Amino acid sequence: MKYLFISLTFLLSVVLNNEAQAQSKSLNTINITKTAEVQLPADLIQFNITLNAKEDTPQEAYKKHQELEKVLVSLLEKYDIKEQDIRFEPIAISQYRERTDQGHKEGYQTRQKVQVTFSDFDIYEEIQVALIKNGFDNFNGSFLTTKKEKGMEKALRQAIDQAKTTAEMMAEQAGVTLGDVLEMTYSEHKVRPYAVDTMKMAVETNGLLQYKQTVAVEATVSMKFEIAS
C-alpha cells in the first residue's frame, strides 16, 4: 500500500511538472497579427441597376415594369453585354402607401435588381445617360479587378513578411532569440470595390473615367513564434 501511494505521488508529481513546463513554454511566445493591403488596377465595372415602377394597380405596375425591361435589354444588346455577365432577381410587386401634399397615396410598386459586369469603361457613361433619358433613376457602380487571386497571394506574402519582421524586432529589443513558428492562421478579405457613385459627375464633367482606378485586396495573418532563449 505504501509502495502504491509513493508511486501515485510520483506520477502526480510528474504530471504536474509536465503541465507546469508546458504552461511555462506557452508563455514564452510572441503573437503577431498583421494585415497587408494591395492595390490592383481596376479592369471591370460592376453596374447595379434597380428597376421599379409605381402604378395604381398591379397590372399597370407590371406593364410599366415590362417597358423598362425592354429598354434595358435593348441597351444591353446595343453594347454587346454577354449573357454570362448579367445577373438579375425575379420581379417583386408590393403595395405601398406614401404621404403627399394632398394626403396619402396608395398603389403598387415593382422592384427588380439587375447586375451587369463589363470591361469597356468607355460605355459606362453612355449607358448611364441612356438610362436617365429612359426614366431610370436608381443605379450605381463599382470598380472590380480580374487579378483578385494574384492580389490575395501578394497581400498574404506581405502580411507574413511584416509579421516576421515585427517578431524579430521585438525579440531583438527584448534580448531573446526568436524560435520556430508554432501556429499560423490567415484570412483573405474580399475585394473592396471602389464605389463609382461619382460617375454621375462623369456625365457632367465628361472625363473622370480617363483617370486610372484601383481596388484593394487585404490579407490578415496571425503568427505565434517560440522564444528559443
Nearest to residue 130, comparing CAs of 57, 49, 63?
Answer: 49
- 32/59 same-domain check: no
- 127/152 same-domain check: no
Residues in a beta bridge with 144: 44
- 80/102 same-domain check: yes
Nearest to residue 192, comparing CAs of 143, 121, 119?
Answer: 143
For residue 82, pLDDT over 50 is answered with yes
The domain tally of the chain equals 2
- 139/49 same-domain check: yes
pLDDT class for 17, splitting at 50, 70, 90?
Answer: very low
For residue 169, pLDDT over 60 is answered with yes
220 within domain boundaries: yes
The pLDDT of residue 13 is 44
Per-residue pLDDT, averaged over 195-212, amounts to 45
68 within domain boundaries: yes
pLDDT class for 214, splitting at 50, 70, 90?
Answer: confident
Quote the domain boundaries for residue 158: 28-41+148-192+212-227
Q: What is the pTM of this model?
A: 0.62
For residue 24, pLDDT over 80 is answered with no
With residue 142 as reference, give the H or E element that holds it: strand 139-144
CATH code, domain with 165: 3.30.110.170
- 55/33 same-domain check: no
Residues in a beta bridge with 139: 49
Q: Is 228 exposed, middle or buried (0-12, 13-18, 19+ CB in 10 A)?
A: exposed
The pLDDT of residue 192 is 56
Q: Is 210 exposed, middle or buried (0-12, 13-18, 19+ CB in 10 A)?
A: exposed
Q: Indicate the angle between helix axes 122-133 and 58-78, nearest 10 degrees.
A: 150
User: Who wins on pLDDT, 198 or 153?
Assistant: 153
CATH code, domain with 82: 3.30.70.2970
113-167 confidence digits (pLDDT tens): 999 999 988 888 888 888 888 888 888 888 888 998 999 999 999 999 999 999 9
Find all residues with CB under 8 Å of 8, minimum gap 6, and list them: none
* CB neighbourhood size of 202 (10 A): 18
The pLDDT of residue 138 is 87
**Mean of per-residue pLDDT scores for the chain:** 81
161 within domain boundaries: yes
